[in-house]
Amino acid sequence: MAIEPPLTELPIKTADNGFYRGFSVNVTVISKIIISILVVWCIFWPTQSGNVLGGLNSVILANFAAWYIWVVAFFIIVCFGLALWPAAGKLNLGQPGEGPEFSNFSWFSMMFGAGIGVGMLTWAVAEPVAHFGSNPETIQGITTGGAADNVRMAYKWSFLHWGLGAWACYAVAGLSLAFFSYRRGLPLTIRSAMTPLFGKSLSGPLGHLIDIVAVVATILGVAQTLGFGVEQFVAGLTRIGIGGLVDAEGGATFVGIIVALLVIMGASTISALSGVGKGIKWLSNINMVLSIVLLGFFIIFGATFFGASAFIVGIWDYLIALPQMSFNVWSSDGVEGSESFLLTQWQGWWPVFYWAWWIAFAPFVGLFLARISRGRSIREFVLGAMIVPSIMCFVWFAWAGGTAIDLELNGGANGVIFDAANGDKIFAMTEFMLAPIAEALAWGMAMLIVILLMTFLVTSADSAVLIVNTINAAGDEGPKARPHILFWGAALGLVVAGLLISGGTSAIQTAMVIGALPFSVVMVLMCISLVKAIFNDSRREAAGVPAVHSEIEGATGNGLSPAE
């Protein structure tokens, strides 16, 4: 049987005129309805919505924890397998001979800022501290929580959650979208990544469903990031002298939430209107520079040698334990307080939550990575999108978190850092370090962190708005109608506000874990589809059949009908 060229056309019906001109009405309207219902439900019935979301979360954690653990391990295997596979690694995520649009610095900056950067300011300090107090080894009595023998365990688990697994989720989505959009000429939208499996049927309801799932997952995944960011932003504003934004327990008040969201979403919407090449690129470069300044402060003036040891030994421990940590699933015996119960509970709180977060974030970051990675090879993409950002995360955790642990163990902090709220830990630490020298220095560092936090949050939010509009517009990367950018900017802010009101960040976490589940299935199909497409392309190359969009266009009249 003759080998045919691949599918290079996937028509998606969009409106020709009116308010939704250029947009897929099915995807856009249904996505807006789902998000609007969630917002109204959480704001007007906060108790009921909190209880229902909590119940659904318990069901998912009880029945799908293993799925989340194993599916992320599968993504790591697929990504490195594609990079090492000779037929795949050399392929250009674009047309033959095409080079990348952005420099390596801008590429890394946008990738890090949109993908995970904002989390560094909360979790680079908070997570090593949390695992230093409790982790599976302390639960099993192997190490002692809060003692020196538990430092290595704190970093092993921190690196697991922010290392290769996180970036594999993004890379799977990004690789699939870039491959099918820039090599095949298909629309830059999630459904295109499954054409080898479902073909032209993706032009209809099945494709609409896939894109709707991606839009909802994106909004919930970004809402999780913004929810943590809003609380930290409010903590930072309080540290620089703006009062009335936190309550007696140190949490953000209703006024604090609204002020933070107005500032963040207002700035992000303005940036989104300017597009990727302007606002987002410049914001990403700015927050990368500020990140280097802040990180340099921790490396030079913080726990320099403690951090270096945590970095080197932590990577070693992480890589050695990665296979076991990636596949192990604990099962509870149902006895509350037992070792198996606590281990299962811990896994639900940490790895399962993180894998759901990264999966929910994947359509947004993946499509964004595809957009900024055109012209790079698959091997370059995998190495650049997985290894470099992972190392950057490890550096942050080693020196920022290491400084916090060292100050508590050896520097006389006496709980000042450990007892602070997660979002406030980095502010408490820098104030403890600088206030004895000069209050002005401590205030200045708090201001730098607030500015950096805002640029990270704005980068994430405006990138998400542009990506959602790209999916809704059937993959059109061109300028989007301003009302739709304004709608999704407001919707994202209202989702965060509604979920925070209905149950704080735990409600956002629950909604995100639920929203990530269907998209995790989509991502598995994307992996299978991509491997199938590359395998078939290698057969086409051997048979002299064109496999790239431009080559197929030039080969019209050869009697071959495009079909995957």
pLDDT at 557: 40
The CA distance from 173 to 289, in Å, is: 27
Task: Please choose, from the candidates 496, 170, 133, 112, the residue with its C-alpha nearest in 3D space to the C-alpha of residue 350.
Answer: 133
Question: 529 and 194 in contact (C-beta within 8 Å)?
Answer: yes
**Runs of H (alpha helix) within 481-560:** 482-543, 549-554
Please identify which residue in the block is written with the tokens 């050869």.
Answer: 558
Of 249, 267, 219, 273, the closest CA to residue 498 belongs to 219
pLDDT in the model for residue 151: 95
Q: Name the pTM for this structure.
A: 0.88
CA gap 229, 247 in Å, rounded:
17
**Which residues pair with residue 252 across a beta bridge?**
246
pLDDT tens digits, 441-466: 999 999 999 888 887 777 777 777 87
pLDDT of the chain, 564 residues: tens digit per residue: 567 888 888 999 998 888 888 899 999 999 989 988 887 887 777 778 777 877 787 787 778 899 999 999 999 999 999 999 988 888 888 888 888 888 887 787 777 665 566 677 778 999 999 999 999 999 999 999 989 999 999 999 999 999 999 999 999 999 999 999 999 989 989 999 999 999 999 999 999 999 999 998 888 877 777 777 888 888 888 888 887 777 766 677 778 888 888 887 777 777 666 655 455 566 667 777 888 889 899 999 999 999 999 999 999 999 999 999 999 999 888 788 899 999 998 998 899 989 988 998 888 888 878 888 888 999 999 988 888 889 888 999 999 999 999 999 888 888 899 998 888 899 999 999 998 888 899 999 999 998 888 877 777 777 778 788 888 988 886 655 678 877 888 888 887 777 777 666 666 677 777 888 899 999 999 999 999 999 998 888 888 888 787 766 655 444 334 444
Q: Which two tokens stand for residue 58?
A: 């318990």
* Cα separation, 166 vs 360, whole angstroms: 11
Domains for the chain: give ranges and CATH numbers.
Answer: 25-553 (1.20.1740)
Predicted pLDDT at 117: 60
- 156 with 177: CB under 8 angstroms? no
Write down the residue that tokens 């029945």 correspond to. 63
Dmax (CA) for the chain in angstroms is 79
Local structure of 248: helix, strand or coil: coil
pLDDT digits (tens, 9 = 90+) for 303-347: 999 999 999 999 999 999 999 999 999 988 878 889 999 999 899
Phi then psi for 425, rounded to 5 degrees? Answer: -60, -40
Q: Tell me, what's the pLDDT at 556?
A: 45
Say how far apart CA 75 and CA 81 lie, in whole Å. Answer: 10
pLDDT on residue 281: 63
Q: What are the structure tokens assigned to 471, written together?
A: 């999916």
Distance in angstroms between the alpha carbons of the first and the last residue of the chain = 13
Q: Which residues contact 334 (CB under 8 A, 6 or more apart)?
A: 341
Beta-ladder partners of 116: none
